[in-house]
Structure 1
């Protein structure tokens, strides 16, 4: 029996594909050159693991002045980078909440930039518990963050159902005994929730 449903946020509830915004802002050619020269995802991984969002990006800009303007976009235009919402997934979150099923967030997200997204997407305030990696100074797929979730919520691993878009994050959760769903489309996640008896087909639309 499922006691709580856990949502990753990036690419489950909100799209995280920064290349799209950069293409609009600086053009595909400059964006490709920037991403080839500078590992944006590694920088964000450090922020997700607890490094300060604003300070870390500003320090990177000072260290790589050729890309300072592009890094300023990452720092100053977060709401335009982490967008749009994945509306069907948001409906699923709200449907579970309305049925009284505990819903948790388990996401690799910086402590300082997460509130910026909450301000744009108030549904991120609906969770009964939020496990944000930057606040915890732990990040998926480190087993320690999953253990911390279990210790905090007090629920048996097998009673947790977790959706994430990354294989490695799902694999670690499954190894701990969690029920898992590799998120590829909102409809696939909806079907999973229906199979577990958490929502009806109508509720999962």
Structure 2
């Protein structure tokens, strides 16, 4: 079985609040900023391949009074990534030690992914990582799942996808994959044990 991981919030913690708690004194204002200015759909366009200068310009055009805070999203992006989810990394290492074929598909901007990859040596465990921002494709689009299989000669039915987003899990299943909705490392361990992968 090919085991295919999502990265953000499965193996690597990411949350813009880690940065913006330092920027905004008022939690309610921070939440407004992250829901109305640099919101999830705005960030997803960077994951799809939009350049950071274009992204910043678009957000500043909508909210010029927050130009400084918007610019920080890129300038201090790494502060959104406090570290690895160690329980999941331990599982990855066990799978690797057992010789499991390991792959990853991530919705991640190509530029910031390369910066992040330099921090986490466990990402070298993967035979291939499909990065949405480099491909112009994002989960849950079927094309990104098909790309991994085509590029690596994999049978979709022999791929198990692990993602914290239920929408992406459903996307993998629609592409003919097996899938697991990640909630905690402990839950993932139980799931992999039940499949005799651990």
- Pair in the same fold by TM > 0.5: yes
- Partner Cα distance (1:77, 1:127) in 2: 27
- Partner Cα distance (1:189, 1:90) in 2: 11
Following superposition, the deviation at residue 123 of structure 1 comes to 1.8
- Partner Cα distance (1:137, 1:58) in 2: 19
Matched residue, 1:196: 195
Residue 22 (str. 1) matches residue 20 (str. 2): yes
Superposed, which structure 2 residues align to 1:74-153 within 5 Å?
74-153=73-152
Say whether the 8 Å CA contact 1:167–1:182 is kept in structure 2: yes
Say whether the 8 Å CA contact 1:79–1:120 is kept in structure 2: no
- Partner Cα distance (1:141, 1:126) in 2: 24
Matched residue, 2:56: 58
Q: 1:79 to 1:36 in 2, by over 3 A?
A: closer
Matched residue, 2:33: 34
Secondary structure, counterpart of 1:21 in structure 2: helix
Secondary structure, counterpart of 1:6 in structure 2: strand
Secondary structure, counterpart of 2:118 in structure 1: helix
Q: Return 5+ residue gaps in structure 2 as ranges.
A: none
Following superposition, the deviation at residue 36 of structure 1 comes to 4.0
| Structure 1 residue ranges, 4+ long, deviating more than 4 angstroms after superposition | none
Secondary structure, counterpart of 1:113 in structure 2: helix
Say whether the 8 Å CA contact 1:102–1:128 is kept in structure 2: yes
- Partner Cα distance (2:40, 2:100) in 1: 33
- Partner Cα distance (1:123, 1:7) in 2: 12
Say whether the 8 Å CA contact 2:38–2:59 is kept in structure 1: no
Secondary structure, counterpart of 1:161 in structure 2: strand
- Partner Cα distance (2:54, 2:93) in 1: 34
> Number of residue pairs matched?
196
Q: Return 5+ residue gaps in structure 1 as ranges.
A: 200-205
- Partner Cα distance (1:36, 1:44) in 2: 11
Following superposition, the deviation at residue 69 of structure 1 comes to 1.6
Following superposition, the deviation at residue 18 of structure 1 comes to 1.3
Following superposition, the deviation at residue 17 of structure 1 comes to 2.1
- Alpha-carbon RMSD across the aligned residues, in angstroms, is 1.6
- Partner Cα distance (1:133, 1:36) in 2: 22
- Partner Cα distance (1:83, 1:141) in 2: 26
